[in-house]
Amino acid sequence: MSPGPSPSKKQRLSFRLALFILTSTTLVFLAAFGYNYQYSKKLVLKNVQENAVNLTRSLVHQLETTLSGVERIPRYLALRLEQGQFSETELLAMLRDVIDANQDIFGTTAAFEPYGMNPDERYYAPYVYRDNTGKLVFTSLGGESYQYFHWEWYNMPRQLGRPAWSEPYFDEGGGNVVMSTFSTPFYRQTAQGRQFHGVVTADILLEDLVEKISAVSLYETGYAFLISRTGQFVAHPDQHRIMRESVFSVAEETNLPDLSQIGRKMIQGREGFAEFTSVHTGEVSLLTYAPVRSTGWSVGVVIPKDELYADIHSLNNTVLLIGATGFLILLLVVVAISRSITRPLRFLVGATTEIAKGNLDVALPKVRINDEVGQLSDSVDTMRVALKEYISNLTETTKAKERIESELKIARNIQMNFLPKRFPPFPDRHEMDVFAVLDSAKDVGGDLYDFFLLDADHLFFSVGDVSDKGVPAALFMAVTKTLVKGIAEQESDPHNVLARVNNELCRDNDSGMFVTLFCAVLNLRTGMLRYSNAGHNRPILLSDKKPPRWLDLPPGLVLGGMEDVPFQTREIRLSPGDILLAYTDGVTEAMNPELELYSEGRLLAEVRARIGASPKALVDELLQSVRTFSNSAPQSDDITLLALLYQGASGKKTTHRSP
C-alpha cells in the first residue's frame, strides 16, 4: 500500500489542534485582559473625577469664604452711610478700622456722586489701602486724571442697583495693582425719593488668588486655573496669560473649538467634566470646572490622562509579560500532546487515500490500543465493506430510477395526447373559437379539459380538476375524460352526463379520489349555453357591452364522492362576441414567495384588463400573469385555462386582439 500525499504543515491535525487551543486561550486571555483594563480605567477615572470635583469645589469654597468675608465690609459701610451723616474725619477713621480688621482686603473707599459729600467738591472718594509693607496708606481718588464715575466698579452697581464684583483690572491711579473690586451702592432719601448717592468698595489683590490657585498640584503636571466672567485668565500656571489672554483667544489661536465650547459653559456658571487638549501641557487632559457664584468667575482643575493611567499601563505591561510566558509554555505542552494523538491517525490517511481512489480491497493497519483511534480504524474498515455493497446496490438503483423517469416522460406524452392540442380545433367552423392550456405541477397531473362537436350545431366542452397529483391523478383524469366523452355522446343534458359519470367513478373507488368538473353544451346556431357543475370554480363571462362577471352555477357535489347525487342544468344565451373563461383552482390558489394567493379578485381584474382579446391571447396572457405573480415560488398545483369565444351562427368573425 502506497502512502497518500503528505499534508503540509498547516494542514496537519496536530498543527490545527494546537492553533485552535492556543487561539481560544489567547482570545479568552485578551478578553479578560481587555475587560480588566477597561474596568480599571473606568474605576480610576471615576475616582479621579470624584477627587477632582471635590478639589474644585474645595477651591471654590475657599474663594467663596474669602470673598463673602470681603463682601460684608462694603455692605456694612453702605448701611451706615444710609443711616446717618459722617464727617470726613469720621468717614476716614471708619475706613481705616474696617480694612485693619480684615486682612483679605487690600483697599476700600466710599465714592460719592458729584458734590455728594461737599457741595464745593465734584470728586470725593477717600481711599485707604495697604502698601508693600502692610502699612495703611491714604489717598484721595477722583480728579481729571482719575474720573472714577466712568470706572466699572462705580458704574456697574449704579446701573444694576445692587452689589457686584468687577472684572479684574489694573487700578492705575489708585492702588496701582491688579485687583477686583466688590462695590455696594448706598442711597439717600431726598425730596424726590430714594436716590443713588455713591458706592462703598472693597478691593482684593489677585496675587493672593493666584497664589491659592497655583498652590494646587496634581500628579506631575496637573494644575488649576481661574477665569473671570468674560473668560479672561485670572490665575494660571503660565504667568504670561494672566490678564493678557482669555480662554476664547487661546482657543482661537490654537484652533481648539472644544476649548471654546468649554469656556462658554464655564462663564455661564455651569459645573461639569470634560476632555480636551491642554494648551499649557500639550497633552490630552481631563478638566473639572465649577463656578464661583458670588463673582461669576469659574475654577478649572486639569489632569493629564497619560499621568492618570500611568500606573494602570505599568500593571498591564507586567500582566502581558506573564501572559506571554504562559502562552509559550502552553504552546510546548499542546504541541507535544497533539503529536502523540495524531501519530496513529497518519497511518490511516494512506489507507483512506487508497479507498478514495476506489481501491476497496486495501488492508487497514492494525491498531493495538482500543481507544478512539482504534475504534476509528474499525469503523473505516466497516465502512469499506459497506461501501462496496452500497456501490453495487446503487448501480442497480440508478438503472431503476432512469427507467422510472423514462416511463414518466412516456406517461406525460400519453396524458397530453388525451387532450385536444390542435388550435384552432375546427378551422372550417366560424361560429366559435376555442383555446386551452394545461400546465402540470409535476411530470404528470390531474387537471383536464376537453371539447368536441356532438353534432353540426352543438359543441360540448368541459374543465376538471382531480383531487390528487402525479401518476394516480393522471390515471383518474384519463378515466374521467374517457367517461365524460363517452357519456356526453349519448346524453344531451349536462346534468345527466355528470350524474352518470359520478356513478361510474364511485364504483370500486377504494382510493377515495374525486374530481371537480364544469361541463356545458353550446348551441352554435342560437348561442344557448346549457351547463352543469360538480363542485368546480365559477367560470367568468366576458362581454363587450358588460363588465366581466361570474357565471351563476347550480349546486353540485364533486364526482366520485357519493353515488346517486343529483345535478342541475342551467341555461344562458351567449351573444356574438361573448367569451366564457373556465379554469382550475391552480390559477386562483397560486402563491408568491410571501405566501399570498393570486385570488379570484386578481383573476377578475386581469380579465377585465383584457376585454377584446382573442381566446389564445387571453389564455396566454393570464398564464403569464400567474407565473409573474408566483415569481420564484414553486408551482403547487396544476393550472388549466380554457377560453371559448361565441361568434354567432352567421359565421362572421368578431374582431379580437391577437396575442
Separation of alpha carbons 249 and 236, rounded Å: 15
Q: Calculate ∠ Cα 462-468-473, nearest 5°.
A: 65
pLDDT at 441: 82
pLDDT at 309: 65
Question: Do 120 and 103 touch, CB atoms closer than 8 A?
Answer: no
Pair 196, 287 in one domain:
no
Closest CA to 554 of 571, 541, 542, 540: 571
Q: What is the pLDDT of residues 243-256, one digit of tens each?
A: 888 888 888 888 88
- 380 vs 370, 386, 407, CA distance in Å? 14, 10, 39
Torsion of CA 191, 195, 197, 200, to 10 degrees: 140
Query: What CATH number did the domain enclosing 249 receive?
Result: 3.30.450.20
All three cell numbers of 323, joined, read: 501572559
pLDDT at 2: 47
Domain assignment of residue 434, yes or no:
yes
Domain assignment of residue 528, yes or no:
yes
Pair 201, 222 in one domain:
no
Pair 542, 624 in one domain:
yes
Pair 558, 614 in one domain:
yes
Domain boundary among 189, 208, 227: 208
- 222 vs 284, 296, 334, 605, CA distance in Å? 12, 24, 49, 80
Domain assignment of residue 514, yes or no:
yes
- Residue that is written with C-alpha cell 487700578 in the block: 171
In terms of residue numbers, what domain contains 118? 85-208
Pair 496, 531 in one domain:
yes
Q: What DSSP element (H or E) covers 286?
A: strand 284-292
Separation of alpha carbons 500 and 493, rounded Å: 11
All three cell numbers of 353, joined, read: 487515500
Q: Is 106 left (phi over 0), alpha (psi -120 to 50) or beta?
A: alpha
Pair 196, 245 in one domain:
no
Domain assignment of residue 23, yes or no:
no
The packing angle between helices 310-356 and 372-418, to 10°, is 70
Domain assignment of residue 369, yes or no:
no
Q: What is the pLDDT of residues 306-327, one digit of tens each?
A: 776 666 666 677 777 887 787 7
The beta strands (E) that lie in 427-555 are given as 432-439, 447-453, 458-466, 515-523, 528-534, 540-542, 549-550
Single-letter amino acid code for the residue at 569: T
What 8-state DSSP symbol labels residue 634?
P
CB burial class (10 A; 0-12, 13-18, 19+) of residue 387? Answer: middle
- Strand 540-542 relative to strand 579-583: parallel, antiparallel, unpaired? antiparallel
Query: What CATH number did the domain enclosing 602 receive?
Result: 3.60.40.10
All three cell numbers of 248, joined, read: 476664547
pLDDT at 185: 94
Pair 508, 632 in one domain:
yes
CB burial class (10 A; 0-12, 13-18, 19+) of residue 122? Answer: middle
- 547 vs 531, 617, 623, CA distance in Å? 21, 18, 21
Q: What DSSP element (H or E) covers 181?
A: strand 178-190
Pairs from 440-444 (Cβ < 8 Å, separation ≥ 24): 440/412, 440/638, 441/469, 441/586, 441/635, 441/636, 441/637, 441/638, 441/639, 442/469, 442/470, 443/408, 443/409, 443/411, 443/412, 443/470, 444/408, 444/411, 444/412, 444/415, 444/470, 444/471, 444/473, 444/474
Separation of alpha carbons 260 and 231, rounded Å: 10
All three cell numbers of 342, joined, read: 495524531
Domain assignment of residue 39, yes or no:
no
205: β partners = 179
Domain assignment of residue 657, yes or no:
no
pLDDT below 70 — which residues of the chain? 1-14, 17, 37, 41, 44-45, 48, 171-176, 217-218, 308-315, 338-351, 354, 358, 360, 363-375, 377, 388, 395, 398, 400-416, 651-659
Single-letter amino acid code for the residue at 630: S
Q: How many CB atoms lie within 10 A of CB 656?
A: 19
Pair 201, 220 in one domain:
no
- 116 vs 16, 99, 558, CA distance in Å? 99, 23, 121
Closest CA to 556 of 528, 534, 582, 579: 534
Pair 148, 246 in one domain:
no
Report the b/e string of 53-91 with b at 16+ CB within 10 A. bebbbebbeebbebbeebbebbeebbebbeeeeeeeeeb
C-alpha Rg value of the chain to the nearest Å: 54
All three cell numbers of 96, joined, read: 481705616
Pair 180, 260 in one domain:
no
Separation of alpha carbons 391 and 395, rounded Å: 6
Pair 189, 220 in one domain:
no
Single-letter amino acid code for the residue at 49: Q
Pair 171, 286 in one domain:
no
What is the distance in angstroms between the CA of the first residue and the CA of the last residue of the chain? 70
Report the b/e string of 582-619 with b at 16+ CB within 10 A. bbbbbbbebbeeeeeebebebbbebbeebbebbbbbbb
Domain assignment of residue 122, yes or no:
yes
Count of domains for the chain: 3
Maximum distance among all Cα pairs of the chain, rounded to whole angstroms: 148
Domain boundary among 286, 308, 330: 308
What's the length of the chain?
A: 659
Q: Calculate ∠ Cα 241-247-248, nearest 5°.
A: 125
Domain boundary among 290, 308, 326: 308
